[in-house]
Structure 1
């Protein structure tokens, strides 16, 4: 494959799966400028790593998630965000970017609570829940994050339990 063909293949795959980059950047960024920077950093790392992508070992989307999440988690750890300025307020356009469609008014409050909960998670658990909400199976989540399927199942169960507790407390005012 020529260098030009290699670049065209990368650009085609990146375009086809670009929502992954935007979802990850949206979940790990404090504001629009940080999101744009993270999208650029993820894209650059994907290009730098593309030569090592092996189609026989993993789907492109799995490989892409792994790189995108590693970049985002590394950046989050480097910055060690303070609780007060972690994210800008959630708005409808964020839900469209992450959820892939318009929010239904009755669900806005629950979605806002869900995204607030996700925003409080540590970087690894945030990645885990993102992949879970993307309907990735435990095997693929484990492969992307480099942890065991048992660990995936345990962590998801704990996150769900914690989320249920917070949602119950929010609805009962406890």
Structure 2
């Protein structure tokens, strides 16, 4: 095991560690499960580091590994999904109201995460990447579907989230 390889890996990992945190927040409710999933992601990143050939950005490759690890890990445990604070201006389900008190904004964001947590694993990945402002091409490459399928899914996901949020307000 080369010391240089390890140094390169650690540098890249530290620069992009937020990716693993976000994937954990999207897929797991329980904090202990998130910590375990994070360890598994780091292990899988290290284990597959030799396969990263620099054909894409490190962050794109890391998203792919982290999302796939989260999905596989989720299948092996009974943990529940949890999401916390995502936002993107282009998401029609807006949680940002300028004069809204902080507590109300937090409740709106939590409601959005709750709605996202009901999505399928693939749709959660698509939303996470979309909220990270990745292009449709980048999302398609990471999740393994076509660019047009990403577009269609995002339209359906947005509609589904709008309905879920509207229904939650009516309860």
1:21 lines up with 2:20 in the alignment? yes
Contact kept in structure 1, 2:30 and 2:81, CA below 8 Å:
yes
Correspondence for 1:38: 37
Flag structure 1 segments of 5+ consecutive residues without an equivalent: none
Correspondence for 2:8: 9
Correspondence for 1:50: 49
Correspondence for 2:93: none
Alignment partner of 2:39: what SS? helix
Matches of 2:138 and 2:107, distance apart in 1: 30
Give the number of aligned pairs: 158
Q: TM-score by structure 1 length?
A: 0.83
**How far is the alpha carbon of 1:86 from its aligned partner?**
1.7
Flag structure 2 segments of 5+ consecutive residues without an equivalent: 88-100
Alignment RMSD, CA only? 2.1
**How far is the alpha carbon of 1:170 from its aligned partner?**
3.6
**How far is the alpha carbon of 1:31 from its aligned partner?**
0.9
Of 104-113 and 39-48, deviating more is 104-113
Matches of 2:24 and 2:11, distance apart in 1: 20
Q: TM-score by structure 2 length?
A: 0.84
**How far is the alpha carbon of 1:109 from its aligned partner?**
2.0
Matches of 1:87 and 1:161, distance apart in 2: 20
**How far is the alpha carbon of 1:27 from its aligned partner?**
1.5
